[in-house]
Amino acid sequence: MIASPIQPFYAMEILGRAQAIEAQGGSVCHLEIGEPGGKPAPQVIEAVRQCLERPMGYTSAKGMPALRDRLSGYYRDHHGVEVSPERIMVTMGSSSGFILTFLAGFAPGQRIAVTRPGYPAYLNILSSLNLPSVEIPVSPANGWKLTAADIAAAYERSPFEGLLVASPANPTGAVLDRDELAAIIACCDRLGVRFISDEIYHNLNYTGRDTSALEFSHDHVVINSFSKYYCMTGWRIGWLVMREDLIRRAEMMAQSLFISASSVSQCAALAALDARAVYDERRESYARNRQVLADGLKGLGFKLAEPSDGAFYAYVDASPFTNDTMDFCMRMLETAGVAATPGQDFDRIDGHKYVRFSYAGKLETIEMALDRMAGFLQR
C-alpha cells in the first residue's frame, strides 16, 4: 500500500452525489462547481460546425500556429506586452499546464509554495508528481491576499524553489492589484523563486483591470484557460507561457504525455478570442448574481459574505451553523437539494468552518437555493 497525501476533490464528489440525486428524480441547485452556466458564444459553435466538414488530426504539441499567434496578440492588446508565439503552448485545459510547468520547471525534490486556502488540485498534482509543497496561509483580515512579507516569512521558515499564486483566486475571489502583484514578483526575484501565475479567472474582475505577471517579467510562468471567462470547461483547452528554454522542455514532455490538445477545441478557442463582447455581457450577469448571493448569505447569517472582487465564488464563514462543513454540505444537499463545496477542499486545516458557493450559474438557481437554505437552517 502506497501512502499518499492526495485527497478527494470534494467539489467533484459533491457534484457526483448531486447528479445521482437528479438521476433518481430529485432536484438540485448547483452552486458547488466553478462552471459557467452559459454555452459558448455563437461564433464558437459555428467554428466547430465548420470543423466537422474537414479532417481534424493532430496539431503540433505546442498547438495551432494561428491560435498561438492570436494569443500573442491578446497579450499585446490587453496587457501591452510582446510575447512571442514561440513561448506559448496550447494545453488540455489549465490542468495539463500545471503538470507541464511542474515537470519542466523544477527538479525532483524541489519545493513549490501555494496559498492556503487555494485550489485543491495544486496539492494533489504536486503529490502525484512527488514534488514537496509548502502552504502559506492567507486570512480574511487581509482580504485573503498574499503579500511579499508573507512570502519572505514562509521562505525563511522553509525555503522553496517555486511559488504558485492565482489572481483572481479560487475559492476566495481575491484580486491582487498591480502594486501588490509587482511586490510579490520582486520578492520572488530577490529570493530566486520561480513565480507561477494562475490567471484562469482573468476577465472576471469586478473591481478593476486584471494585471498579468508578464507585465513585469518574462522569466516566470503564466497559466491560463478558456474554461471560465470563455465558458468552455468541458472543451479542455488552455495555454501556457514560459521562457523559451522551458517551453522547449515542456513541448518535448507534451509530445509524449498529451500529443496535442484537441484540434476541434483549438478551432473553438480561436473563435472565442474574437467573441469577447459576448463574454463581457455574461460577466455582467455574474456581477448581478454576485450581489444577490452576497445579500442572501448575509441575510441567512453567514459571516464574511461580502461580494468577492473576482472569479465567481463566495467563500463564507459557516461557523454560526456548524464546525464541520463537510457534514453541513452533505446534509444540505441531501435534505434541501442545495449543492455547495465544503472548505476542506481548499484548506485542510481551517476549512472545516468555511463553505464555497459558486454564482456562475443562473440567477433563478441562486434565488431558489437561498430559499431552500432558509428552510434548511431553520430545522
Domain ranges of the chain: 10-39+277-377, 42-275
Closest residue by Cα to residue 279 from 202, 352, 224: 202
How many C-beta atoms surround the C-beta of residue 171 within 10 A? 30
Cα–Cα distance for residue pair 198/181, rounded to 1 Å: 12
Cα–Cα distance for residue pair 172/118, rounded to 1 Å: 8
pLDDT value at position 158? Answer: 94
pLDDT value at position 1? Answer: 37
pLDDT value at position 160? Answer: 98
pLDDT value at position 346? Answer: 97
Cα–Cα distance for residue pair 310/130, rounded to 1 Å: 32
For the structural domain made of 10-39+277-377, what CATH number should be given? 3.90.1150.10
Domain 42-275: CATH architecture, name and number where available: 3-Layer(aba) Sandwich (3.40)
Confirm if 91 and 84 have CB atoms less than 8 A apart: no
**Angle (CA) 27 28 32, round 5°:** 170
Cα–Cα distance for residue pair 175/173, rounded to 1 Å: 6
Within the chain, which residues score under 70 in pLDDT?
A: 1-4
pLDDT value at position 129? Answer: 95
pLDDT value at position 20? Answer: 97
pLDDT value at position 4? Answer: 57
Closest residue by Cα to residue 239 from 106, 360, 83: 83
